[in-house]
Amino acid sequence: MKIIMLGAPGAGKGTQAKKIAEKYGIPHISTGDIFRANIKNETELGKKAKEYMDQGLLVPDELTCDLVTDRIKNDDCKNGFILDGFPRTIPQAEALTKALEKMGQKMDFAIDVDVPDSAIIERMSGRRACLKCGATYHIVTIPPKQEGICDNCGAELVQRDDDKPETVQKRLTVYHDQTQPLIDYYKNEGILKTVDGTKDFEDVFTAITEILS
Ligand code: ADP
Ligand code: ADP
Ligand code: ZN
């Protein structure tokens, strides 16, 4: 099963993608997580990516496409994978389609987690992340058992640099300009499914698993 998660920043893509990956035993591939790991390890890629991420801009396609098209050739992707945060531009979607064509494959589902901008700001301002294991929480809707501490690994939770209100606004504008056109792209490919992302996270998960089964 090969799945793409679409949706605005903060729509709940990552939260759902992790649960789906677990349920179906497929790898969860998040470009945001890959960039953040590179920043933490102070790699060349991390240094370049950080410049864009801190401004709420997309990392250029040249730095992003090969990362994913190489990753999906790995053995662990044989039975499928779930892409979270990629593709984010039409050229990225085209690069993905091409790479899969070469492998004689195509994506099965593009799931758009639909959340209006008005709700996004609330989601992002309460988001807390574990930079050690990648888990994500929300101080009101999905709190950790112990405030400020990751349930999974016990590390300290932080607010991401790019989740500050000014940067969130910029990311939303970038989303509407560059990423939203992918909804039509995948509608044309005949694989688009939309779920109401404003519901509780269990309800969103149920809606997605119904689509997949
Ligand atoms: P969110 O969870 O809010 O959707 P991500 O963790 O997916 O955010 O991404 C954080 C930042 O990493 C983005 O704002 C962007 O700068 C960069 N990024 C992640 N994925 C991509 C991509 N496919 N193309 C370009 N930039 C990306
Ligand atoms: P994305 O990967 O699309 O940027 P996340 O999965 O990180 O989004 O979710 C953004 C924030 O909203 C996080 O703080 C997360 O805990 C919270 N969240 C996710 N899904 C829901 C939901 N259905 N209802 C309320 N809050 C949610
Ligand atoms: Zn953790």
Does ligand 1 have an atom closer than 6 angstroms to the CB of 85? yes
Tell me how far apart the alpha carbons of residues 23 and 25 are, in angstroms, rounded to a whole number.
Answer: 6
Task: Please choose, from the candidates 195, 200, 203, the residue with its C-alpha nearest in 3D space to the C-alpha of residue 5.
Answer: 195
Locate the ligand 1 atom nearest the alpha carbon of residue 14 and give its number: 2
Q: In sequence order, what are the residues at sequence separation of 6 or more whose Cβ sits closer than 8 angstroms to the Cβ of residue 9?
A: 120, 124, 168, 171, 172, 175
pLDDT average, residue stretch 130-148:
94
Ligand 1 center from residue 59 Cα (angstroms): 7
Is there a catalytic annotation at residue 127? Answer: yes
Does ligand 2 have an atom closer than 6 angstroms to the CB of 14? yes
Q: pLDDT-based confidence at 165, cuts 50/70/90?
A: confident
Whether residue 195 contacts residue 3, with contact meaning beta carbons closer than 8 Å, is answered with no
Write down the pLDDT at residue 190.
98
Q: What CATH number did the domain enclosing 87 receive?
A: 3.40.50.300
C-beta neighbour count of 195 within 10 angstroms: 23
- 202 found inside a domain: yes
Q: Is 43 left (phi over 0), alpha (psi -120 to 50) or beta?
A: beta
Mean pLDDT is lowest, of 54-58, 156-160, 165-169, 193-197, for: 165-169
Give the range of the structural domain holding residue 70, as residue numbers without chain letter: 2-116+167-212
Query: What SS3 string covers 28-56?
Result: EEEHHHHHHHHHHCCCHHHHHHHHHHCCC
- 151 found inside a domain: no
What is the tens place of the pLDDT at every residue in 45-95? Answer: 999 999 999 999 999 999 999 999 999 999 999 999 999 999 999 999 999
- 109 found inside a domain: yes
- Answer yes or no: is pLDDT of 124 > 90: yes
What is the tens place of the pLDDT at every residue in 16-47? Answer: 999 999 999 999 999 999 999 999 999 999 99
- 177 found inside a domain: yes
- 136 found inside a domain: no
Write down the pLDDT at residue 166.
87
Tell me how far apart the alpha carbons of residues 198 and 203 are, in angstroms, rounded to a whole number.
Answer: 9
- 96 found inside a domain: yes
- 56 found inside a domain: yes
Locate the ligand 1 atom nearest the alpha carbon of residue 30 and give its number: 7
Ligand 1 center from residue 33 Cα (angstroms): 8
Tell me how far apart the alpha carbons of residues 143 and 37 are, in angstroms, rounded to a whole number.
Answer: 23
Tell me how far apart the alpha carbons of residues 17 and 143 are, in angstroms, rounded to a whole number.
Answer: 18
- 127 found inside a domain: no
Q: pLDDT-based confidence at 161, cuts 50/70/90?
A: confident
| Domain tally, the chain | 1
